[in-house]
Structure 1
Amino acid sequence: MTRIASYCIAASALFLLAPSAALAQEGEATPPPAPEGQAAAAAAPAAAPAQAAPAKAEPKEDLKDKPAPNSIYAEGLGAGLWYSINYERRVIDDLGVRVGFSYISIGATVSAGNSSSSASASLLTFPITASYLGVRSGKHALEVGGGVSVTYATAQASNSFGSSASGSGVGAYGSAMVGYRLHPVDGAGFNFRVGAMALIGPGFNVFGDDPTAFGVLPFGYISLGASF
């Protein structure tokens, strides 16, 4: 009896200790879960601070070296023969195109006794030229260019005997020039041009036997005006 009672007491002790040991092993194998906020913070890697890309500096146009785009000037001699009134527009910074006009009218009367004769003529000229100003320093520039001048001429003559005659015609001649130009580059200002020119076409053969033949006439030009 005593031995049976000892076996019963040992079995009861093992039965009571087995759940405690199992609970202890389970606690060691599975740690308690961390709070939800801390778990998210631990799982997410530290984000590197964002760096803004450096802004690219946009090139700014140097307005202090930009020629004034419009010019109005009066030219003596030059492509208009005696004078011309002109407007010029810079189509690009280094190239300008001008259009002008001039008007010349002449007349004469000759008398001999009871008879007289008179004649008159007029000439309209429309010079169209292009000027290159790529060689410059600030407002000082070398001007190189050329173009064509369109002409419209009329003439009439009469005498005291009642006879008369008249006529008109359209023509053209070329021109080439090289000279100095003062052209404002910072807004509006004074415009000045001076240089040498060659007129090319019929009637400019002053050094040959036939003055009406095709030739080249050395000429010049000077102009004053304003650019804006």
Structure 2
Amino acid sequence: MTRYSRQISLPEIGEGGQEKLHKARVLIVGAGGLGSPAALYLAGAGVGTIGLADDDTVGISNLQRQVLYTENEVGQLKVHCAAQRLRALNGNIEVNVYPFRLNRENARRLIADYDIVVDGCDNFSTRYLISDSCSALHKPYVYGAIQGFEGQVSVFCYGDRPKTYRDLFPDETATLQMPAPDNSVIGVTPAVVGSVEASETLKLICGYGEVLAGKLWTVDLRTMQSFVLLL
């Protein structure tokens, strides 16, 4: 347990919490800007099984913010590169790779094998699909989104009166018809938001603190203003 001694010494975690982390199964959908820091910190914390779902390859423009990857991996599948890096970071965990997109045919089957789903994706349709699947399967969904210098995080499908992504964006038809969001972003924005997603995931697993269920955390890194809004 020396590896995890700095967190085991926290009363909120302890050896019992570390055992919960070892037994936990977390699926990260999207291995890009948000998925990179989330995966690294969850692997470092000792989450026993991490699944990575993404059909994309590493591009040179990814390297400004997707810190799992290196220049010599450009053109390779992200999930394979990410799995190699996570296994090198922590040889005591299992990393499963799914080099495909979630769709209505595979989403529930894949999510059913995991305890928690972490959002690393970048589009509305996948988020609706994850949220609907997690709601049906009673699995917590740790949502995160970024643009420019701003980000937000919430925990859907969890708690006594669970909220879903549809509570944030009720009109799916109108949302899907919106113009594609501007993909401009400073590299530290996904680092901050992905790390907060990892933090919420650790809280869910170990059972400490106040989870962002029924709440939306927002941050603007230009002003360092941060708010928690009730949903």
Task: Answer yes or no: same fold by TM over 0.5.
Answer: no
Range of TM-score over shorter length: under 0.3
Q: Please, what TM-score do these two structures have when normalized by structure 2? A: 0.20
Q: So what's the TM-score if we normalise by structure 1?
A: 0.20
Structure whose residues are more often helix by fraction: 2
Identify which of structures 1 and 2 has the higher relative contact order when contacts are C-alpha pairs closer than 8 Å and 6+ apart. 2
Which structure dedicates a bigger proportion of its chain to strand? Answer: 1
**Structure exhibiting the larger radius of gyration computed from Cα positions:** 1
